[in-house]
Amino acid sequence: MARRETPEINAGSMADIAFLLLIFFLVTTTMNVDSGVSKKLSEKPPADYVPPIIKEKNIFEVNINRNNELLVEGERMDIKDLQEATITFIDNGGGEGKVEEGVATGPCNYCKGERSEKSSDHPNKAIISVQSDRLTEYGTYLAVQDQLLKAYRELRNRLSMEKYKTPFPELEEAYKKDKQNESLKKKVEDIKTSYPQIISDAEPTN
């Protein structure tokens, strides 16, 4: 009886199939994108630059320790309460604003704060100083930054509604679509100048 040969499977196209599957999964798979905080870095000052003297009451100290605990002005605070505390500080309006072109800005006539002499003089003088530890979790740092940005957004939106009857995000969006509109440009700049976003990140502690 003749010996029967075992049929062979042609695997020549398997490499092509594997390659096509690889391309398919690369195209259809979604990649996780790390979240971050968008910030514009300040320009390097000139060599002869003399930093201005800043009153202690115009600095709002926010610290995050290595245990991810939040301390605001030396006191423990829950992250959920940070936004309101920040608004209270920025919107205090307890004194005069910055001196611009030799003329003082004057008191804040749009602030709704208590005008306490122990808190910030003016929104354009209010500085948020954030300092974290090198062992602070990134998620905690982002949560703190988010609350600070929410405070500025709320203040800007409130002023925009009072002056222009338009939410500030809508005002910004309208200006982005019509950059040549001088009226919109002035309104957006007015709100941003009234509540300038001044957040300083100090060197992390060890």
Asked if the model's pLDDT at residue 123 lies above 90, the reply is yes
Helix (H, G, I), strand (E, B) or coil at 127: strand
Give pLDDT tens digits for 135-155. 999 999 999 999 999 999 999
Q: 127 lies in which domain range?
A: 59-97+107-201
Domain contains 52: no
Domain contains 45: no
Residue with the two structure tokens 């709320």: 154
Give pLDDT tens digits for 64-81. 999 999 999 999 999 999
Domain contains 33: no
DSSP codes, 68-115: --EEETTEE--GGGHHHHHHHHHT---SB--EETTEE--B-SS--S--
pTM listed for this prediction: 0.77
* Residue 111 banded pLDDT, cuts 50, 70, 90: very high
* Residue 92 banded pLDDT, cuts 50, 70, 90: very high
Q: Which residues pair with 96 in a beta bridge?
A: 107
Q: How many domains does the chain have?
A: 1
Domain contains 139: yes
